[in-house]
């Protein structure tokens, strides 16, 4: 069977590692890879600032000290808030928790972390 046929029939990997599948001595390396996308970390995020406001961008240091009319349920949280980009503290906490969970599940941290998309906030402000 040709490589083209293997790819078309979706058994390319099976054929590539046929000996291993049949229980023979052939082995292949295993890698744990974590892919994170679109973190959008906001270095201007401010815990306790207005999460809903009439300005273009909320949850920001630029609103610190301003008397905005907000209710406590609409304030930016410590680790992030729906509708706002992620604060650095939230990103660090997420990565630490991911590492812990992956070590528990797989016995080790990922061998590689791939970050794609927007790493930092792309909103002006």
75 and 87 Cβ atoms separated by less than 8 Å:
no
52 to each of 42, 59, 61, 122, how far by Cα in Å? Answer: 16, 8, 14, 19
Question: Over its length of 125 residues, how does the chain's per-residue pLDDT go in tens digits?
Answer: 555 555 566 666 666 676 665 666 555 677 788 899 999 999 889 898 888 877 667 888 765 556 556 566 688 999 999 888 999 999 999 999 998 998 998 888 888 889 998 888 876 66
Residue 91: per-residue pLDDT: 94
Residue 108: per-residue pLDDT: 86
């Amino acid at each position: 069977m040709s490589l083209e046929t293997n790819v078309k029939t979706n058994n390319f990997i099976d054929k590539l590692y046929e000996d291993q599948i049949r229980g023979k001595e052939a082995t292949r390396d295993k890698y744990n890879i974590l892919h994170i996308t679109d973190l959008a970390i906001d270095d201007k995020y401010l815990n306790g600032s207005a999460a809903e406001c009439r300005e273009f961008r909320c949850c920001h240091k630029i609103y610190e000290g301003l008397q905005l009319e907000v209710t406590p349920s609409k304030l930016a949280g410590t680790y992030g808030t729906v509708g706002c980009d992620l604060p650095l503290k939230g990103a660090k906490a997420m990565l630490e928790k991911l590492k812990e969970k992956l070590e528990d599940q797989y016995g080790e941290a990922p061998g590689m972390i791939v970050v794609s998309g927007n790493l930092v906030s792309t909103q002006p402000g």
